[in-house]
Structure 1
Amino acid sequence: MAEKEESSQAGENKTELQIIKELVDELYQFKDCYFETHGVEEAGRKPDDVKQKMEEILKKLEEKEDSLKNKVEFLMQKGRCLNVAPDYSAAAEECLSRAVKLDPCLVEAWNILGDQYWKKGDLIASKNCLTGALQQEKNKVSLRNLSMVLRQLPAANNDEHGKRVLESVDLAREAVQLDVSDGTSWFVLGNAYLSLFFTCGQNPQFSQQALSAYAKSAEDKIASSTPDLHFNRANLFYYEEMFGCALEGYSRAAALDPNWEEPREKEKQLLEYLEKVSELIQNKGKVKTRRLRTMLSSLNTSALGPCSSPQFRSPSGRVGSLEPRSLSSLPHGHNAGVAAMGKVVFSLASQGRMAFTFGMVDSDETCIVVMVYNTADTWGVLIGDTVVIPEPNVKRHSITHKDKSYDFKSIRVDSPLLLIVNGKKQNVQSQIPVSVSYENRQKLKETH
């Protein structure tokens, strides 16, 4: 008879624990799918709505705490409930620490505890939790979260940081392979490739892999409502001079999180930059006609400097002198075997350490904007300088965003070392690698 009573009580406990899990599942469903039941115009209410929902469910959990407080599953679900908030919770850490002590094989509890340590700023403890979880079972959450932690850990030198970034890419790839439909894993992989791109020599293949991973993430309904995804992808679009896509990304991130100022500020900065560039191209840097003609009168083939030598090695590896061409005759894309040449008529400081921008006019008085990347803070060109661009890469920009339109051509230069300024090559101190930040603002992304 006693055995039957014990069995019946176990059955009741199982039911109670199942109810608790379903309540917490409902909380995460509410948060992750918020925009399925609310319009984007209500995005500003989301943090308060999620907090209110968390407090309601927490109250229901606490009503059952006396009978279940020593149960591992109850402790984990309470910790998981508290973990929905973006900030660190000492109560969540306590629940989860007790849960993993009672059952060291509980992978999900280790993952959520790792999340709490991340929020607390204790990256080493977070790493240890995730590594421990992976020793129990290979799972996508531990893999992708460990990928994030590795990229944030302080490194003694660039080599150590580079190795960690490479390892983080491998971990994020593994997470994706375990579930190719999980948009959060694709988002973390995109961030890993973005970090790899700027850590390991800006190989274009890595930026394309980052964009591909972000595109996969954006197909997922949960990941696509994450403002960080749109913001990170917009930063990379900006670097790749896909300005229209960047503006859309910043705008979307701002709409999804109206309390986050940075996307709105970035959108505003980029619009102001495009406005300024368009205006300066149109009026040739506001240089007066007489002064401009005086400047251009000294522009001749002698300005080619080393580019006129038969031994000149172009950025593409081609050996031989370059033929000067007018700016209007340059087709879009890479122009092998030729050089663009002109006088500087305006310059703009780099926007958020992105590109040093200047405008130059050639002998035909055609004006084009030049965007130079990886420049040191001390590097620049002055109005009146003669600039030669070997094998220029010409782009056409046609952008429309929020009733604003911009249409202009530019030349992209990946390093100041590729330019000839006043007949001279630039010294190595003129170059410093640019970096583009990516966001993991809220927490380690958890799938429930």
Structure 2
Amino acid sequence: MSIESLEQKLNDLYDFRKNYFLNHPIEDASLKEERINNRIQDVVNAVASYKDDVCSQSCGTTEDTLTREQLAELCWIEGKARNASTSFDSSCQELLTKALKLNPKLGDITDIHVQLGECFWKKLDREGAKLSFEQSLKSSDPEITKQGKRNLSILLRQVAAASKDKEEHLEYMDLSIKLVKEAIQIDFADGISWYILGNAHFSQFFVDGQKPETMKQALQAYKNAFKDKLSHYNCDLLYNYGVLLKFQENYQESLKSLQLASKIDPLWEEAESQATQLEVLLTKISDLVANRGGLKLKQFEKITSKFEISQLGCYREPFKDSKTEKLIDLKPCSLKELVDCSSIINSKNSFEKVCLLRIVADIGQHLEQPPYYCVAADSKGSLCAVSIFNAAISFHLQRGDSIAVAQPDVSKHVFDFEPLKAPSSIGDIKYCHVDFVLLRVNTPLDLVINGRKGNKGMQAMVSVGVEAKAS
């Protein structure tokens, strides 16, 4: 056994972790951590065995026999091996710190500062992690610099999220984006860097005016990340991509992404929770739309018979479009006019329309996050779901309330899905069917409720968190 062979065992450990799902089926996800920990222990045992051999041959201690550089390398190998675990290991921090003291040159020729930074990060010591990542940027190795910039970008975004000062928050966010863009310039094909950029833009979207172009940048960054085959098994990426798609109301692809994230990391409760709650939401909406909001026929007919032109409120008058600043005469329309043979009419055709609906079922804010959901019907008895974003927690619509939706943003959702917790027996699997039309409202301020325009007390800006691990 030589130090070179120990380095090879260390590299094999990290290759095994990195390429796990390229070489194992998703069904083996629950065994990943155990298998990695076994390989970590193999490296630790190999280092101990090497030290024992050195001592037995020289009849002395390792400190007496080995040079400072050799001792430093052994500490680095064992420390980095222990750092492959997802949890904090105090001996890992001790080993890496000792390695740097014995041979400061390791900071340039190895990723020891990155490893030490990740170790501090797991310990929830952000300042220690920040200092270590900044040290890694001094390396002459582009790969090490790339890793340092990526991790520092995530760390600064976490610091930004903790800041209550908006200007300071945006300053940290700008620096976070700058760093990860620099990492991308080092390796344009690296999926992790693109995924981190996607997270940064997605977070920025909610604190900087919810600009559509920022959301597009996040989506494109995630798509670029998926060009790296390893990203297909990055549960953080899959989770965040799923959350973004859910916000965009691309429910079919969102559910696929969230379910896969949960399967890849079965112990990640948040991924499983998001996937299963979305399953429940979609099933509930479909059932309510298909069954008159749970109302008996006479109740439903009573509610849908009470439509009056006065319920359009201010939308009876010329409407000032926020984008063009032009006045528009909105024409009342039915849901059937918005949907033709299960295909959504060109959005330009809904630009000058207003849809008057009455609430038949209240779902509320699902998934512990916006939007607010309800089911409504038009005067002809057609039903749809309505999602209202940026609604305050106190916002509530009652059965029978009228809402007027200007320039309706309409989508149709028809697909089948297999529940995440489906029975293991293939013959017992029950697929759930989703089928509903959805109207999206960006803020309660865009609604006319019972003839009155929504007010600022009904609004609260959305905040959606993104997940990112240190390594």
Fold similarity call, TM over 0.5: yes
Alignment of 1:216-365 (within 5 A): 216-310=224-318, 312-316=319-323, 317-331=325-339, 332=344, 333=347, 335-351=350-366, 352-365=368-381
| 1:163 to 2:171 alignment | yes
Provide the C-alpha distance between the structure 1 equivalents of 2:125 and 2:396, rounded to a whole number of angstroms: 41
**Structure 1 residues 96 and 276: alpha-carbon distance in aligned structure 2, compared to 1, 3 A threshold:** same
Q: Contact 1:315–1:391 at 8 Å: present in 2 too?
A: no
Provide the C-alpha distance between the structure 2 equivalents of 1:47 and 1:221, rounded to a whole number of angstroms: 21
Matching residue within 100, 103, 117 for 2:120: 117
Provide the C-alpha distance between the structure 2 equivalents of 1:152 and 1:162, rounded to a whole number of angstroms: 12
Deviations 1:121-175 (A, max 9, x none): 0011111111222244562101110001001123142221222122211111111
Matching residue within 402, 413, 420 for 2:448: 420
SS of 1:241's partner is coil
Provide the C-alpha distance between the structure 2 equivalents of 1:155 and 1:88, rounded to a whole number of angstroms: 25
Deviations 1:383-424 (A, max 9, x none): 111100111111111222122221221111111111110111
Q: Could you tell me the percent identity over the aligned residues?
A: 29
**Structure 1 residues 342 and 69: alpha-carbon distance in aligned structure 2, compared to 1, 3 A threshold:** farther
Deviations 1:59-98 (A, max 9, x none): 1112334255832333322221111011112111112222
Matching residue within 23, 31, 41 for 2:27: 41
Query: AA paired with 2:68?
Result: N
Question: Which shows bigger deviation, 383-392 or 216-225?
Answer: 216-225
Query: AA paired with 1:128?
Result: L
**Structure 1 residues 432 and 174: alpha-carbon distance in aligned structure 2, compared to 1, 3 A threshold:** same
Runs of 4+ in structure 1 off by over 6 angstroms are: none
Deviations 1:299-358 (A, max 9, x none): 122211111123x32344431331111111025335211101011111111112131111
Q: How many residues align?
A: 428
Provide the C-alpha distance between the structure 1 equivalents of 2:167 and 2:294, rounded to a whole number of angstroms: 47
Matching residue within 187, 193, 212 for 1:185: 193
Query: AA paired with 1:324?
Result: P
**Structure 1 residues 396 and 69: alpha-carbon distance in aligned structure 2, compared to 1, 3 A threshold:** farther
Question: Which shows bigger deviation, 363-372 or 98-107?
Answer: 98-107
SS of 1:106's partner is helix
Matching residue within 149, 159, 172 for 2:155: 149
- Residue 427 of structure 1, CA deviation: 1.3
Query: AA paired with 1:120?
Result: K
Matching residue within 404, 412, 422 for 1:388: 404
Provide the C-alpha distance between the structure 1 equivalents of 2:451 and 2:127, rounded to a whole number of angstroms: 52
Alignment of 1:188-207 (within 5 A): 188-207=196-215
**Structure 1 residues 404 and 69: alpha-carbon distance in aligned structure 2, compared to 1, 3 A threshold:** farther
- Residue 262 of structure 1, CA deviation: 2.5
Provide the C-alpha distance between the structure 2 equivalents of 1:174 and 1:26, rounded to a whole number of angstroms: 28
Provide the C-alpha distance between the structure 2 equivalents of 1:349 and 1:290, rounded to a whole number of angstroms: 24
Query: AA paired with 1:344?
Result: I
Q: Contact 2:133–2:152 at 8 Å: present in 1 too?
A: yes
Provide the C-alpha distance between the structure 2 equivalents of 1:194 and 1:125, rounded to a whole number of angstroms: 26
SS of 1:245's partner is helix
Uncovered stretches (5+) of structure 1, i.e. residues with no partner = 1-14
**Residue number in structure 2 paired with 1:408:** 436
**Residue number in structure 1 paired with 2:38:** 52
**Residue number in structure 2 paired with 1:431:** 459
- Residue 232 of structure 1, CA deviation: 1.4
| 1:131 to 2:138 alignment | no
**Residue number in structure 2 paired with 1:367:** 383
Uncovered stretches (5+) of structure 2, i.e. residues with no partner = 52-61, 419-430
- Residue 114 of structure 1, CA deviation: 0.6
Provide the C-alpha distance between the structure 1 equivalents of 2:272 and 2:453, rounded to a whole number of angstroms: 39
**Residue number in structure 2 paired with 1:70:** 68
Name the TM-score, length of structure 2 as normaliser: 0.86
Question: Which shows bigger deviation, 312-321 or 185-194?
Answer: 312-321
Alignment of 1:22-41 (within 5 A): 22-41=8-27
SS of 2:286's partner is helix
**Residue number in structure 2 paired with 1:103:** 104
Query: AA paired with 1:114?
Result: G
Provide the C-alpha distance between the structure 2 equivalents of 1:435 and 1:400, rounded to a whole number of angstroms: 29
Q: Contact 1:314–1:391 at 8 Å: present in 2 too?
A: no
SS of 1:434's partner is coil
Q: Contact 1:69–1:75 at 8 Å: present in 2 too?
A: no
| 1:18 to 2:8 alignment | no
**Residue number in structure 1 paired with 2:425:** none
